[in-house]
Each structure stands twice: as C-alpha cells, then as structure tokens.
Amino acid sequence: MNELVHPYHRFIRPTVTHSSFCPGCGDGTIAQSILRAIDGLGMDMDDFVFVSGIGCAAWIPSPLFNADVFHTTHGRPIAFAFGVKMGLPDKKVMVVSGDGDLVAIGGNHLIQNARRNIEMVVICANNSIYGMTGGQAAPTTPMGVKTTTTPYGTFENFFEDISGLIIAAGASFVARWTTAHPRQLTASIKKAIQKNGFAFIEVISQCPVQFGRKMGTGNAVQMLEDYKKRSISIKEAKKLSPEELKERIVVGEFVDLDKPEMVEEVTRMIRRASAEAQEAMETGRG
C-alpha cells in the first residue's frame, strides 16, 4: 500500500516533525495559504528567502519551510529582508510575522519600507495579542480588553486599520483577509508574490488560547464563525456609514497599483553611475 503523503509535505523541512502552534491556532491556515500560493504559481521553495522576527507567526517559516529561512530579532525582519533583497534581487523575499513584531516594536521599518516600495511580500498575522509571551496587550488589542498586562482593561486607543496605515505609507499592494477566508487569502498571496513592489497582507487570525479564552470570544471554531459574521467586502463596506462599520472587518484587496519600485530604481542608478565612471576613466578624467 502506498503511504499517504500530504501534497505540501515536500515544502516542509525534512527534520521538522511537528509545529509549535497551539491547537486551533490560525498560523496553520496562514502557513498552508502561503504554500498553496507558491504551489499554485508553480514556483519552487528555492525561489524564496523567508524572513521572520519574534513571536508565534515568526515560527511559520522557521523552521517549517524547506527553504532559506532567516529567523531574526524582534521587530526587525523587514530591515533584515531589505538587505537580503538588495543582495539577491532575483529572489522573492517574504516576511512572515505577527502584529506585535511588525506593527509595535518594528512599526517604523514597516512604514519606511512600504514608503520605499521595495519588492517584498509582508504577511502580518494579526491576532490582536502577544501570544508567545502569554497574552499581553498589543497595539492591536481593542480598548478596554483585560489582558495579563492590563488587568483592569486596556486604556489605549488601538490600531483598527493597519492596512490603512500601509496604504498611506505608499505600498503597491495591500490586502486584508481573515483565517476564515483561506481561498481568498491564497489568491491574494499569489498576487502579492507577483507584485513588483511592497505587498502587504494583513491576516486577522485567531489565537484561541491567549485571546479567545481570556476575552471570552470562544474557541477557534467560534472565533472563525465570528470572523465570517463580522467580515464585509470593500464594495459592501462602501455602502455603510462609519457607525455601521463599527465592529466589522473590512476584507479584500485595498490597493493594487504600479509605481516606481526601489530595487529597480537602485539598479538603474548603479548602471548610470558605473557607466559614468567607465566613461570618465576612458576619457582620462577619472
């Protein structure tokens, strides 16, 4: 009898025997959506360098993916990815990390590289909490929620629209889905990989252990059902007032535009500078 093998098993590092995610975690859905997108595009894992920071979502590629994987410091994966991309412009560079990593401690790298519009895919698993350290408030935790560091409820306004921030910063491609939309998410990741520019995908993802249990939003299934109920497409959302959109999750592809991309601009600059230097040397002005 033939052994049954998962179709994406070939994408998994052979030395990895298990994942470190809690039961019901959304990171598995995100991992599979990424692999489905790569498979769907007919690409190879060697076409990619995966970069991640610190936190649960950072462990999606590290060590799971059988590719070049760069597991870096907290908040800085995009800054590391910048150097990797400049050094290997022909490779696809994908950053996978969480909201705490990318938006709190690493917020400026996210903004600045969206502004640069450097070609890379950034997938932000947004679970509205610090999961790995045990359920502390994040900049994405809704106001008033009790967490381990806000036992009386959070007293800060929170990021309700990370995607909006990245659109304003100037990224070429911005989309938001939830883990209840794996097919749409996969389709957007495919587009993001092919995008010649900074492509940001926010994935609202369930953390049943540190968020669901503490916040009373239930287990993984209940959280996913809640995402489905609250999600609304961009088109539909346009018909509603801000008041009506409260508590709703607007999903879809917000931005998909063509604009100058940084690696290309740098390549052009280098070509110009070396040609000028060559000419100066030949004419004896060097």
Partner 1 sequence: MSEKRVHTGRYFMMGNVACAEGALAAGCEFAAGYPITPATEIANHLAEKLPQVGGAFFQMEDEISSIAAVIGASWAGKKAMTVTSGPGISLMVENIGFAIGVETPCVIVNVQRGAPTTGMPTIGIQGDMVQAKHGSHGDYEIIALCPSSPQEMFEHTVIAFNYAEKYRTPVFLLSDAFVGHMREEVVIPEAEKIETIYRNIPEPGADPLKIKGFLDEDVAPMPIFGKGFKAHVTSSCHDEYGKRNLIDISALDKFVRRLSNKILKHKEEITLVERDYEDAEIVLVSYGGVSRAAAAAASQARKKGIPVGTLRLITVWPFPGEEIEKMARKAKQVIVLENNLGQVYPYIKAEAAHFAEVSFLPPRLVGEIQDPEDILKMIMEVST
Q: Which of 9, 73, 168, 238 binds partner 1 (CB under 8 A)?
A: 73
177 binds partner 1 (CB under 8 A): no
Cβ closest to partner 1, residue 80 vs residue 254: 80
What's the closest the beta carbon of residue 156 comes to partner 1, in angstroms? Answer: 24
Stretch that binds partner 1, among 146-154, 206-214, 249-257, 265-273 (CB under 8 A): 265-273
Over the window 99 to 138, marking each residue x when it contacts partner 1 by CB under 8 A and - when it does not, the resulting string is ---------xx--x--------------------------
Single out the residue of 7, 14, 23, 242 in contact with partner 1 (rule: CB under 8 A): 14
Compare residues 108 and 233 and give the one whose CB is closer to partner 1.
Answer: 108
Using CB under 8 A, which residues numbered 74 to 103 contact partner 1? Answer: 76, 79-88, 90-91
* Complex with partner 1: residue 12 or 124, whichever CB lies closer: 12
Site string for partner 1, 50-69 (x = CB under 8 A): -x----------xx--xxxx
Go through 228-245 and write b for each residue having 16 or more CB atoms within 10 A of its CB, e for each that does not. Answer: eeebbeeeebeeeeeeeb
Q: Which region among 24-32, 219-227, 246-254, 268-276 touches partner 1 (by CB under 8 A)? A: 268-276
CB of residue 236 to partner 1, shortest distance in Å: 37
On the 0-12 / 13-18 / 19+ scale of CB atoms within 10 A, 193 is buried
Binding residues for partner 1, per CB under 8 A? 13-15, 45-46, 49, 51, 62-63, 66-73, 76, 79-88, 90-91, 108-109, 112, 266, 269-270, 272-274, 276-277, 281
